[in-house]
Copies of this chain bind each other. A is one copy, B any other.
Amino acid sequence: MIRVGIIGATGYAGSELVRILMGHREAEIKWYGSRSYIDQKYADVYRNMFCIVDAVCMDDNMEALSKEVDVIFTATPQGLCASLVNEEILSRVKIVDLSADFRIKDVAVYEQWYGITHKSPQFIDEAVYGLCELNREKIRTARLLANPGCYTTCSILTAYPLIKEGLIEPDTLIIDAKSGTSGAGRGAKLPNLFCEVNENMKAYGVATHRHTPEIEEQLGYAAGRPLTVSFTPHLVPMNRGILVTEYASLKKKEDGTLPTAKELRAAYEKYYDSERFVRLLPDGACPETKWVEGSNYVDIGFVVDERTNRVIMMGALDNLVKGAAGQAVQNMNLMFGLPEDTGLSMTPMFP
């Protein structure tokens, strides 16, 4: 039985970790860390856990925690994990960090986009980027795991095979992303009030959103060279779900023709056919966020537009599951040698 500690257990991602781990037969939560609710019953903060979780919230003490558990999930704001982690702790426990602290290999890029000084740059090299479908082998042996962002997971998986196989022009990639409001967290902020979000839609963070460099780094590895993308997130009046619509120009083959829909499908199949959590939809089907809600799936579809010689790629996931807690558990499973889908067999809930 894996003993689990969570730092930041009362945010939406933290609480989703709790929900998922309640159904994981090989893991047991030993520490519900939440600086804001110390000594309060967890089930009083999340009443859905009434009669399910009996524990009270603890402080965010990674030092103490590292002596009691096998793995620590940090579901906390940027900078916290980097400020707490050290060699001693890493020698005792594995860490799955749901924040951005160890996602980006170039510390300057991190510090520029996040506007803070990185407190533990010495661990960046060691940290493994936890996008299981791309990095599975490295994840198995990682001590420090950088769990990808929600937008990032969806954006990368949707475009990866076509970039990797050289079927699209990398620098034409435009990602128009739409997210449910739980992605904004549980902080009591005016723009996240029901009446501000409901019956409303907007873009935000245009040309400046922090998930951009993370997408560029990972897709740059696929392309074999650096690339820049346009990434625009939008806020949608729903609780959960991310939908990305991605546009790219098809890349001429050596014979001067453009790749066909069949060739694009073959590329997707090459990378995803044996993936447990990636569902490549039939021709003509567009992903819908509700079809993956509550589950660890990513649904992907695409359409070739012969009028514009572009491909429109679409991906959908649940931002709190495959976009956060579910992927974190998938990573934990790999890191502890368990079947990758242990505790992750939730069927999507519809409606």
Identify the A interface with B (CB < 8 A).
12, 15, 19, 22-23, 46-52, 174, 176, 178, 180-182, 186, 188-190, 192-204, 206-207, 228-230, 232, 234, 236-241, 243, 245, 247, 279, 281, 285-295, 297, 299, 303-305, 307-308, 310, 312, 314, 316, 345-351
Q: Once the chains are docked, how many angstroms separate the CA of A207 from the CA of B307?
A: 8
Q: Once the chains are docked, how many angstroms separate the CA of A51 from the CA of B345?
A: 12
Residue contact B236 to A195, C-beta cutoff 8 Å: no
A304 to chain B, nearest CB (A): 8
Q: Once the chains are docked, how many angstroms separate the CA of A204 from the CA of B303?
A: 11
Residue contact A305 to B193, C-beta cutoff 8 Å: no
Complex contacts, A48 vs chain B, CB 8 Å? 290-293, 295, 347-350
Question: In the assembly, how many copies of this chain are there?
Answer: 4
Q: Once the chains are docked, how many angstroms separate the CA of A304 from the CA of B207?
A: 8
Q: Once the chains are docked, how many angstroms separate the CA of A292 from the CA of B202?
A: 12
Q: Once the chains are docked, how many angstroms separate the CA of A207 from the CA of B23?
A: 38
Q: Once the chains are docked, how many angstroms separate the CA of A12 from the CA of B228?
A: 42
Residue contact B203 to A194, C-beta cutoff 8 Å: no
Complex contacts, A347 vs chain B, CB 8 Å? 19, 22-23, 48-49, 52
Residue contact B186 to A195, C-beta cutoff 8 Å: yes
Residue contact A207 to B351, C-beta cutoff 8 Å: no
Residue contact B237 to A288, C-beta cutoff 8 Å: no
Q: Which 10 A-B pairs have the closest CB atoms?
A: A200-B290, A195-B351, A48-B348, A207-B305, A176-B176, A202-B288, A194-B197, A48-B350, A206-B303, A181-B194
Residue contact B286 to A182, C-beta cutoff 8 Å: no
Which single member of B176, B195, B290 contacts A181 (CB below 8 Å)?
B195
Complex contacts, A238 vs chain B, CB 8 Å? 198-201, 237
Residue contact B239 to A207, C-beta cutoff 8 Å: no
Complex contacts, A350 vs chain B, CB 8 Å? 15, 19, 46, 48
Which single member of B52, B229, B286 contacts A203 (CB below 8 Å)?
B286
